[in-house]
Amino acid sequence: MDPLSDIIIDIRGLTFRRGSRTIFDDISLRVPRGKVTAIMGPSGTGKTTLLKLIGGQLKPDGGQILLEGDNIPTLGRGDLFLVRERMGMLFQSGALFTDMSVFENVAFPIRVHTDLAEEMIRDIVLMKLQAVGLRGAAKLMPSELSGGMARRVALARAIALDPDIVMYDEPFTGQDPIAMGVLVNLIRRLNQALGHTSIIVSHDIKETLGIADYVYVVADGKVIAEGSPEQLASVDSEQVRQFMQGLPDGPVPFHYPAPDLMQELLQETP
Amino acid sequence: MLDWIQSLGHGALSRLATFGRAGQLLVQSLVARPAPLVMFPLLVKQLYFVGVLSLVIIVVSGAFIGMVLGLQGYTILVDYGSEQAVGQMVALSLVRELAPVVTALLFAGRAGSALTAEIGLMKATEQLAGLEMIGVDPLRRVIAPRFWAGFISMPILTVIFSVVGVWGGAIVAVDWLGIYDGSFWANMQQSVDFSEDVLNGVIKSIVFGAVVTWIAVFEGYDCVPTSEGISQATTRTVVFSSLAVLGLDFILTALMFGEL
Amino acid sequence: MRMRTMEIGVGFLMLAGAVALAVLALNISGLNLADQGGGYKVYARFENIGGLTARAKVAMSGVQIGEVTAIRLDPKFLVAEVEMRIRDDVDFLSTDSSAQILTAGLLGEQYIGITPGAEDVNLKDGDRIQDTQSALVLEDLVGKFLFNKVSE
């Protein structure tokens, strides 16, 4: 069965520039519903920017981002508010609100978007925290959490409203093996249990390929490869292979451009 | 030569752009206030951090400045045999000038820099972006309450500064230097006019409050979200606020007291 | 940070501010006189007003009965004209009262001292005090002194 048969987010011809740099040059991506989609590439290719574009925080210079027919960049305030109710985002640093407790952090999106009674909110928050294994930490403040725990709380907050789309911005970066394992496990399990669409932006090959259903490799503002993890392993492109295998030298050179070594050594100090 | 002109022009344009962004922030924060039910607890919290926690430094500074004024005033006036005028000298200096200006400068240093650092840190740790993704406008929820808190606290702190200062001056003049209690207060009451002096001082403090808080909040919101960026933004807040306060004070003084 | 503590703190701040404003109004700026409103206007011409300024006090036997509201130049008589406001309850100043510019202390403020006359009719709103004595000018005093010395 074609994994791209049921698309929830359709990005067409997206162009985005920051200053004089072109971050995305007419790229197209299709995110299948209910699956784990990974967007990978070398650092600095603007992967986080892509998530911000999908979430409506940034406006593209050209192209469309269609969420089931709605073009996100053109939505008004009210519609954007409703769309964001269906999205959850896990930021790279967790981005917990430091002046609120863990409980309040997870309850926040619920309070903003719904009018539920306090008892209901309490039940929902406790269940979300239970799902990430941190129900006992409900009364702690974010400053009292370790990095891994903070990310898990942020994840609980991201799924507080049972969104249709959950976006993960570099979730595995800088984590110790146990925390990493926990997170990988959580992402996969939640995806299966709750049936939402997951979009992971990462440059961690091993972890990401382990749980992704479909992968896009983005470099130099373009999609240079796409497919399931198995398909990607046999792609015939030096650039892709350098990235996937983590080779130090290749299309992305090891040496920063410099004059010839012998010449520079023999030169008198100016 | 041409390069220099070009960089000058570029610098001027980018300053203009910054000012434009600042103006945009101001308008958006003022116009888009959150619902009163949400706003009130946020406002109270900010009033506490910005106003109440500044009380100590304001009261202590006010007392010391008032005492110094009393002491210096006496030393200068006693040569002319006019030491009974100490009361009005202390009161007028405080109410017209020192209270609004010094309070504003202290406020910029203490509360202004704290606001900038806090907002800058929220930007750097992606909390502002997080709020946006959840669908909450950070301008309404984070910036607006802080702006109103600064705007409201400043006149209150200024008035407290004036009173504490006069009291300090009174202690020095009456209790220590032996000026007759009655003439100290009577002379003061004669020469300090409520609408001319007190109200003008309060108007100054309202203007300063708006400007200092605006600068503090903007620098935090606009900063480069790194630790170096935050520290630069904090410095800019203190420097620009201080300069703005002093400059505005001159303009306001000329307008209010110029004819006298 | 407990919400309750913060609310108490903010309440205290507001209260302190209100109290400070009240103190400023009553104790420091002597709001009473200025706001008793009314009062009637009286005019007087002086050759030299010395250091008299607006809001200077107007007193009789040392007791303040009003204040100077404006100082102008009279284009017809080519002297200074002082406008003052006297309290309504001081309505027993006869029309031949005299106004003199006095100094309080060596470097003190100048004020107007009113000495009552003997007429039956009293000053009303808009009346003019005819008998005035200008401020003492230091140079004139020195001149007078020298002149007296010379004629001895």
CA distance to partner chain B, nearest, from residue A209 (Å)? 27
- For residue C89, is it within any domain? yes
Of residues A249 and C124, the one with the higher pLDDT is C124
Name which of C129, C148, C152 is nearest C40 in CA terms. C129
Regarding whether C139 and C73 lie in a shared domain, the answer is yes
Which residues are within 8 A (CB) of A43 and not within 5 positions of it... i.e. 6 or more apart?
A203
Helix axes B99-107, B144-170, angle to 10 degrees: 130
Domain interval for residue C15 = 1-34
- For residue C75, is it within any domain? yes
- Rounded average pLDDT over A190-206: 86
Regarding whether C59 and C29 lie in a shared domain, the answer is no
Return the pLDDT at B231: 94
Give the span between the Cα atoms of A47 and A37, in whole angstroms: 13
- For residue C151, is it within any domain? no
Amino acid letter at B181? D
Q: Which residues pair with A168 in a beta bridge?
A: A90, A200
Asked if B164 and B66 count as a contact pair (C-beta separation under 8 A), the reply is yes
Amino acid letter at A92? Q
Asked if B98 and B165 count as a contact pair (C-beta separation under 8 A), the reply is yes
Residues of B in contact with A201 (CB under 8 A): none
Most confident of the following: A63-67, B85-89, B208-212, C97-101 = B208-212
Regarding whether C20 and C6 lie in a shared domain, the answer is yes
Of residues B33 and A224, the one with the higher pLDDT is A224
Regarding whether C44 and C30 lie in a shared domain, the answer is no
Helix axes B199-222, B2-31, angle to 10 degrees: 110
Regarding whether C81 and C50 lie in a shared domain, the answer is yes
The position carrying tokens 């004089």 is: A20
Q: What is the pLDDT of residues A169-179, one digit of tens each?
A: 888 887 788 88
Return the pLDDT at C58: 85
- Rounded average pLDDT over B93-105: 92
Q: Establish if C15 touches chain B: CB-CB under 8 angstroms.
A: no
Question: Is the confidence at residue A230, as pLDDT, over 60?
Answer: yes
Question: Is the confidence at residue A45, as pLDDT, over 80?
Answer: no
Q: Establish if B245 touches chain C: CB-CB under 8 angstroms.
A: no
Q: What is the pLDDT of residues B22-32, one digit of tens each?
A: 888 888 777 76
Give the span between the Cα atoms of A175 and A30, in whole angstroms: 29
Q: Establish if B163 touches chain C: CB-CB under 8 angstroms.
A: yes
Return the pLDDT at B120: 93
Return the pLDDT at A1: 43
Question: Is the confidence at residue C33, as pLDDT, over 60?
Answer: no
User: Are B166 and C10 in contact (CB < 8 Å)?
Assistant: no
- Rounded average pLDDT over B38-65: 90
The position carrying tokens 């619902």 is: B35
φ/ψ of residue B232, rounded to 5: -65, -40
Which residues are within 8 A (CB) of B211 and not within 5 positions of it... i.e. 6 or more apart?
B241, B244, B245, B248
Q: Residue B119's pLDDT band (boundaries 50, 70, 90)?
A: very high
For all residues of chain B together, what is the average pLDDT? Answer: 87
Regarding whether C117 and C57 lie in a shared domain, the answer is yes
Return the pLDDT at B260: 47
Question: Is the confidence at residue B109, as pLDDT, over 60?
Answer: yes
| Chains in contact with B, counting 3 or more C-beta pairs less than 8 Å apart as contact | A, C
Hey, what are C71's tokens?
Answer: 């100082």
Most confident of the following: A196-200, B132-136, B255-259, C57-61 = A196-200
Regarding whether C68 and C24 lie in a shared domain, the answer is no
DSSP per-residue letters across B105-141: HHHIIIIIHHHHHHHHHHHHTTHHHHHHHHT--HIII
Residues of B in contact with A153 (CB under 8 A): none
φ/ψ of residue C127, rounded to 5: -75, 165
Regarding whether C99 and C48 lie in a shared domain, the answer is yes
Return the pLDDT at B156: 94
Regarding whether C94 and C80 lie in a shared domain, the answer is yes
**Domain count across chain C:** 2
Regarding whether C55 and C24 lie in a shared domain, the answer is no
At CB < 8 Å, which residues of chain B contact A? 122, 125-127, 129-136
Q: Which element (helix H / strand E) includes B193?
A: none
Give the span between the Cα atoms of C115 and C117, in whole angstroms: 7
Parallel, antiparallel, or unpaired for β C63-74 and C127-129? Answer: unpaired
- Rounded average pLDDT over A6-11: 84
Hey, what are B257's tokens?
Answer: 């007291």
- For residue C148, is it within any domain? no
Please tell me which of the candidates A55, A98, A113 has its beta carbon nearest to residue B133.
Answer: A55
For all residues of chain C together, what is the average pLDDT? Answer: 80
Q: Please return the burial class of A65, using the count of CB atoms within 10 Å of its CB with bins 0-12, 13-18 and 19+.
A: buried
Regarding whether C63 and C9 lie in a shared domain, the answer is no
- For residue C149, is it within any domain? no
| Chains in contact with A, counting 3 or more C-beta pairs less than 8 Å apart as contact | B
Hey, what are C43's tokens?
Answer: 């005019």
Return the pLDDT at C49: 82
Return the pLDDT at A269: 63
The position carrying tokens 């925290």 is: A129
Regarding whether C45 and C95 lie in a shared domain, the answer is yes
Asked if A89 and A55 count as a contact pair (C-beta separation under 8 A), the reply is yes
Give the span between the Cα atoms of B91 and B87, in whole angstroms: 6
Name which of C74, C67, C73, C75 is nearest C40 in CA terms. C67
Q: What is the pLDDT of residues B169-205, one digit of tens each?
A: 989 888 888 777 777 887 787 777 777 788 889 999 9
- Rounded average pLDDT over B44-54: 89
Question: What percentage of chain C has pLDDT greater than the value 70?
Answer: 89
Return the pLDDT at A222: 82
Quote the distance between the C-alpha of residue B197 and its chain's center.
Answer: 18
Parallel, antiparallel, or unpaired for β C110-115 and C57-60? Answer: parallel
Which residues are within 8 A (CB) of A233 and not within 5 positions of it... i.e. 6 or more apart?
A244
- For residue C79, is it within any domain? yes
Name which of B47, B52, B58 is nearest B164 in CA terms. B58
Hey, what are A30's tokens?
Answer: 């299709």
Could you give the 3-state DSSP secondary structure of residue A169? strand
Return the pLDDT at C107: 58
Q: Is the pTM of this model over 0.90?
A: no
Q: Establish if C34 touches chain B: CB-CB under 8 angstroms.
A: yes
For B128, the closest chain A residue by CA position comes to: A95
Q: Which residues pair with C103 in a beta bridge?
A: C110
- For residue C150, is it within any domain? no
- For residue C152, is it within any domain? no
Q: Residue B210's pLDDT band (boundaries 50, 70, 90)?
A: very high
- Rounded average pLDDT over B234-253: 94
User: Are B91 and C28 in contact (CB < 8 Å)?
Assistant: yes
- Rounded average pLDDT over B234-241: 94
Hey, what are A189's tokens?
Answer: 């399990």
User: Are B129 and A85 in contact (CB < 8 Å)?
Assistant: no
Give the span between the Cα atoms of A111 and A155, in whole angstroms: 17
Give the span between the Cα atoms of A249 and A255, in whole angstroms: 8
Return the pLDDT at A19: 76
Hey, what are A151's tokens?
Answer: 């990310």
Of residues C32 and B47, the one with the higher pLDDT is B47
Give the span between the Cα atoms of A176 and A178, in whole angstroms: 6
Asked if A4 and A28 count as a contact pair (C-beta separation under 8 A), the reply is no
